[in-house]
Amino acid sequence: MSTDDPLVRVDDLRKYFWENDSMLDRLLGDEPVPVRAVDGVSFDIHAGETLGLVGESGCGKSTAGETLLRLQEPTDGDVEFDGDGVYDLGGDDLDEFRRTAQIVFQDPFSSLDPRMTIGEIVRQPLDIHDVGSPAERRERVRGLLERVGLSADQLDRYPHEFSGGQRQRIGIARSLALEPEFVVLDEPTSALDVSVQAQVLNLLDELQTELDLTYLLISHDLSVIRHVCDRVAVMYLGEIVEIGSVEALFDEPKHPYTRALLESVPRASTDERERDRETLAGDVPSPRDPPSGCRFRTRCPVVIPPDDVEIEQDRYRELMTLRERIERRDVSLESVGEEDRFETGDGGVPEADVPAFVAALKDRLLDVELPARHDAVVEEALAELAAANWDAAAERLRAEYGSVCEQDRPGLGNGGHPVACHRDDEASESAVAPDPRQ
């Protein structure tokens, strides 16, 4: 391995959990449903650096961290550590990997066994891996506790006698017992008070320099990421959507999701009126049934309309939402119009009433006024609903407003600051090639 090679290389890693997968489900004929927690992520981590993994709750950060440490078995993909395939390791090699790659968990309250003294907790990895004599282990535990800012005299105390910040220090001491090279820090300060957070982050920073550690820092908190990381990978619904240096990512975020995450962080210095209003709307869709194409498209403020459709983004978004509701049959047709005038029962709304039915439904479903051309398309689609023709209604809107964002899954490109967004593809395609003579 050359010195330029990464210490950790993650290649197209997938981890699916399966629901409806019990014997009873099979007897009942229910199909297993994959929960695509991690769905094809690739990134490198170089020795000595801190890579941040950021994203909203449930986007797959912890699963990615645990799977790359082989605490969970992958569904597919590879992870190399120091040039060796982690999932091919066995025997002594696996044992060695388990020593050299460690994790610090978020919750210092539940990750420490309440029945063990903190001396026993920190010593446990040394016992399991049979490192040194009992006297050497004791000495090492004392040294570790002091190194993380606790007193070696507290060895015989129990976790409940310590504050949150102190317990996290105990967790850190334990993770360092086997002299690892690489540590996954999974939300290491999220459960702590803000004042204590900075102390723990500073400790991790000092330890990194002193012990030549490489970190993967998992956090939903952008201020933590900015404070600590060299590079950042942004994760959304099981995928990485953007990776770059901290400077590039914070100064020039490229993905609409990254921009929305940054916009949603309160910043005292930002003038409310001048702020781009790209805050995050809606919830993260379920990883059981992720959206087609770009997974962020259902919340994206800059979805790309078809070439021949000139329309403002808020109106386009409204049309996409309308179509999605029709696709899900999430529109009540039973109480349309004042005093539930229209019945869509047998045979649908009588023909003479269709225009009034369409007008009433449009009034209920759309918040914005549409230009005439689009208004006509919506009316045609809603007229299909007068006869409960759901598929025809959705198809009318799909034919007119289909977006590249829902048809193709954008790939994460190469280079120092890659992004998985069709907008970026468009920008690079339309960019004028530099004149080689200049």
Closest separation between CB of residue 106 and ligand ATP, Å?
A: 8
Among 58, 285, 306, 337, binds ligand ATP (CB under 6 A): 58
Distance, in Å, from the CA atom of 367 to the CA atom of 376, rounded to the nearest integer, reads 16
Binding-site member from 2, 3, 57, 269 for ligand ATP (CB under 6 A): 57
Query: Least distance from C-beta 14 to ligand ATP, angstroms?
Result: 12
Q: How many residues bind ligand ATP (CB under 6 A)?
A: 13
**Which member of 10, 59, 150, 326 binds ligand ATP (CB under 6 A)?**
59
Query: Applying CB under 6 A, which part among 41-49, 59-67, 153-161, 292-300 lies near ligand ATP?
Result: 59-67
Least separation in angstroms between residue 37's CB and ligand ATP is: 3
Q: Min. distance of Cβ 35 from ligand ATP in angstroms?
A: 4
* Two structure tokens written together for 274: 């001048």
Among positions 232-291, residues that touch ligand ATP (CB under 6 A) are 287
Is residue 242 a contact partner of residue 418, using CB atoms and an 8 Å limit?
yes
Instruction: Indicate whether 60 belongs to the interface with ligand ATP (CB under 6 A).
Output: yes
27 CB neighbour count, 10 Å cutoff: 8
Query: Is residue 14 close enough to count as binding ligand ATP by CB under 6 A?
Result: no
Shortest distance, position 188 Cβ to ligand ATP, whole Å: 12
Residue from 220, 222, 300 nearest 262 by CA: 222
Residue 35 within binding range of ligand ATP, rule CB under 6 A: yes
Which tokens is 11 given? 């290649």
Nearer to ligand ATP, 60 or 291 (CB): 60
Beta strands in 164-279 (DSSP E): 182-186, 214-219, 231-236, 239-245
What secondary structure does DSSP assign to 46-86, as a single string? Answer: -TT-EEEEE-STTSSHHHHHHHHTTSS--SEEEEEETTEEG
> Is-contact 34 18, C-beta < 8 A?
yes
What's the min distance (Å) between Cβ of 258 and ligand ATP? 15
CA atoms 198, 180, 110, 79: torsion sign = positive
| 185 near ligand ATP (CB under 6 A) | no
Q: Which of residues 282-321 bind ligand ATP (CB under 6 A)?
A: 287
For ligand ATP, which is the closer residue by CB, 14 or 396? 14
Alpha carbon distance 128, 146 (integer Å):
22
Strands of the sheet with 8-19, listed across from one edge: 33-45, 8-19, 76-81, 84-85
Site for ligand ATP (CB under 6 A): which residue of 37, 170, 204, 213?
37
- What residues are paired with 38 via a beta bridge? 15
**Which residues, in sequence order, are CB contacts of 349 under 8 Å at separation 6+?**
342, 343, 357, 386, 387
- Residue linked to tokens 């199909």: 31
Given the complex with ligand ATP, which of 68 and 322 has the nearer CB atom?
Answer: 68
Site for ligand ATP in 73-132 (CB under 6 A): none
> How far is Cα 266 from Cα 403, in angstroms, rounded to an integer?
32
Contact by Cβ (8 Å): 159, 167: yes
Binding of residue 62 to ligand ATP (CB under 6 A): yes
- Rule CB under 6 A: is residue 61 a binding residue for ligand ATP? yes
Q: Is 418 near ligand ATP (CB under 6 A)?
A: no
Residues of this chain that bind ligand ATP (CB under 6 A): 17, 35, 37, 55, 57-63, 220, 287
